[in-house]
Every structure is written in C-alpha cells, then in structure tokens.
Amino acid sequence: AQKVTQAQTEISVVEKEDVTLDCVYETRDTTYYLFWYKQPPSGELVFLIRRNSFDEQNEISGRYSWNFQKSTSSFNFTITASQVVDSAVYFCALSEIPGGGADGLTFGKGTHLIIQP
Amino acid sequence: GAVVSQHPSRVICKSGTSVKIECRSLDFQATTMFWYRQFPKKSLMLMATSNEGSKATYEQGVEKDKFLINHASLTLSTLTVTSAHPEDSSFYICSALTETETQYFGPGTRLLVL
C-alpha cells in the first residue's frame, strides 16, 4: 500500500525567510511518481511539480526547489525568500502512474504554511 | 493545460435533500474521472473512480448508494449526494484523466448541509 506522510501540520514563518516542507513516502513499486500541489484558500489545487522515481536530481523553479532522496524516501520542498502569497496548504502526493493515473493519487495530510508579513 | 470545471462551486441544502455536482472536462475527453472528498483541514481522500459508460469503482468505506456517480459522456461526470445529512458537508473535488494519464483537478464544490 502507498502512504505519504507530511509530519508538519502547520508552519508559520516571517516573510523572506526560507522554509522547507517535509514529505516522506512509502511504496512497494519500483516505479512511482511524486507530486506537490498548492491549495490556496480558494480550494483549487495548483500543480507544482512531478518527479519520477528514476530521477533524483534536485529541481529548482524560481524560489521553489525540491530535494528528492530515494535513500530516505523523502521529497522535500523548499521555498526561498518566502512571500505572503505563498501562504496555502501544500500537499505531497504519490502515484505509480505519471499523471496520477488510473488509480488516483495518494495524498499526504498537507502542511498549512503561513507567511506573516 | 487542460481545464476541468465543477458546478456548483458552493451549495447549501437542507438535510434529507439530494445534491448533484457536475464535473466537466472543457477541452479534452476524459474516459476516467475521479471524485475526492476533503474535510476541513484534512487531506483529499479518493472516493471513487468514474468510468465513462460503466459503473463507478468506489473506495472502501464509501457508500455507493449514498454517493451516486454517473459518467454519461466523455466530458461529464456527476456526483449526487442522496439524502444529504450534515456529516456529508465537505469539499468535493473532481479530477479528469487525459489520454496521457495526467490528472487535472476541478476547482472544487463546497457542500453545506443544514
């Protein structure tokens, strides 16, 4: 069975600080895909990134970066120089299909990130 | 990217009534759609997989007679909450699967049962 653990329920930082959101996953599949989604107060899920299990290279996109380590089954997400607009709930998710595919996604419980001005 | 819409975005109903939520893929055809449920400050839980032209597949613990799913066309799936009760109040999110097996999520529907 697949499982995603986001141990941080809520994080509060002051604007411009860096913040890392942790994600630990469990799966028996050798091929799998990891995702991060942002859910602002409006509720709509915003896709941030997808990473497959064969690619452990870290990725950077502007102020966002992701650290994938198979050895520790972790896929952590860092926001550099945080901004108030980054305030949202962030979900880590897992699937054995690239797009989150035919069996749906397994979501973590989410981390509520609060960026204070 | 592909666009998925949901209607209504918000609904308030009385206990005992039924509520229908629509999920549409606007610019692509989706053989498969998913319905998720999210309680306040909780994660998304997959409720069921909706397959065009066939019966939906429900996750364990989800009452199929309570949550009726109809996927009558390649662009529309509906979720009907029958005889709604206050405990059914939740945020319902659908997603649609493209031919390349990528899920695109709808904006969600907030249901409040009084």
Tell whether B6 lies on the interface with A, counting CB pairs under 8 A: no
Report the alpha-carbon distance of residue A68 to residue A52 in Å, rounded. Answer: 10
B98: pLDDT strictly greater than 90? no
Report the alpha-carbon distance of residue B46 to residue B66 in Å, rounded. Answer: 15
Report the alpha-carbon distance of residue A67 to residue A95 in Å, rounded. Answer: 18
Chain Cα centroid distance, residue B97? 13
Judge: B43–A91 Cβ closer than 8 Å, yes or no. Answer: yes
A85: pLDDT strictly greater than 60? yes
Sign, Cα dihedral of B41, B45, B47, B52:
positive
Residue to test with chain B: of A33, A44, A50, A106, most B Cβ within 10 A: A44
pLDDT in tens, A57-68: 888 889 999 999
B114: pLDDT strictly greater than 60? yes
Residues 6 or more apart whose CB falls under 8 angstroms from that of B60 comprise: none
pLDDT in tens, B26-79: 999 998 999 999 988 788 888 999 888 888 999 999 999 999 999 989 999 999
Select the residue of B45, B103, B106 nearest A99 (Cβ to Cβ): B103
pLDDT in tens, A10-56: 999 999 999 999 999 999 988 899 999 999 988 888 889 888 898 88
Select the residue of B41, B98, B105 nearest A45 (Cβ to Cβ): B105
Q: Which of residues 30-89 of B touch A (CB under 8 A)?
A: 32, 34, 36, 41-46, 49
Q: Are A39 and A45 in contact (CB under 8 A)?
A: yes
Residues of chain B found within 8 Å of residue A44, distances taken between Cβ atoms: 105-108
